[in-house]
Copies of this chain bind each other. A is one copy, B any other.
């Protein structure tokens, strides 16, 4: 097995057709996708722009559709749900179709779509997404959403968690330098992930907006077994 890690979707130069991709936007887009899937959502349609999301919801045109997402981490006016996973309760999302747009996470998901399989990963489903990826191929590419086109430590630590679960399944693998580094950082910090993220750009932005509970929620490890996978423009549960 070979594991490659990319700090941002924009830094992927290679063709991913022979790779299984795991997209990571731990704070918070992929954590929302995992939570919604765990709580019974029927499907999630990620789109790049707010206008596109509104138009898509209009075309789908029924009461099962929820418009969800954020811009600069803040709720979008007129949308049903923001990018807080705490809002995605079974009562609200079970059986519904979600049209979702987020700043960095959607872009990473769209970049990954040439891969032979695309999964959404987070701390929440680290073991489950590692298992799903491993079942589908030898070459695994983890694509972090990053923050504003840059390396974001929250995503790197989350990738480290997923890599540690991949090693639990199969200890013999090639890792590129960033994958090795992510694993080292995760192993150093796993005792207190929240403290290790103090001072980081994206985390401090969320804290300034009062989203400490979201951070706490998203940093829980292996508490969900849902694995959203992306095919033909839609995310559904791989394990279902």
Report which A residues bind B (CB closer than 8 A): 5, 7-8, 10-11, 13, 147, 149-153, 156, 175-178, 180-181, 184-185, 188, 199-202
Copies of this chain in the oligomer: 2
* CB<8 Å pairs between A and B, sample of 10: A7-B151, A7-B178, A11-B149, A151-B176, A153-B177, A153-B181, A156-B177, A177-B202, A180-B200, A185-B185
Report the minimum CB–CB distance from A123 to chain B (whole Å): 17
- Bound Cα distance A199, B5 (Å): 15
- Bound Cα distance A175, B198 (Å): 12
Chain B residues with CB below 8 A from A184, complex form: 185
Given contacts A7-B7, A151-B7, contact A200 B185 (CB under 8 A): no
Chain B residues with CB below 8 A from A176, complex form: 150-151, 201
- Bound Cα distance A211, B184 (Å): 26
Report the minimum CB–CB distance from A207 to chain B (whole Å): 14
Chain B residues with CB below 8 A from A147, complex form: 177
Chain B residues with CB below 8 A from A151, complex form: 5, 7, 176-178, 181
Chain B residues with CB below 8 A from A177, complex form: 147, 150-153, 156, 200-202
Chain B residues with CB below 8 A from A175, complex form: 199
Report the minimum CB–CB distance from A63 to chain B (whole Å): 41
Report the minimum CB–CB distance from A133 to chain B (whole Å): 20
Report the minimum CB–CB distance from A179 to chain B (whole Å): 9
Report the minimum CB–CB distance from A111 to chain B (whole Å): 14
**Do A178 and B150 touch (CB < 8 A)?**
yes
- Bound Cα distance A8, B152 (Å): 15
The chain B residue sitting closest to A150, CB to CB, is B176
**The residue from B10, B149, B185 contacting A181, defined by CB atoms under 8 A apart:** B185
Chain B residues with CB below 8 A from A5, complex form: 151
Report the minimum CB–CB distance from A188 to chain B (whole Å): 7
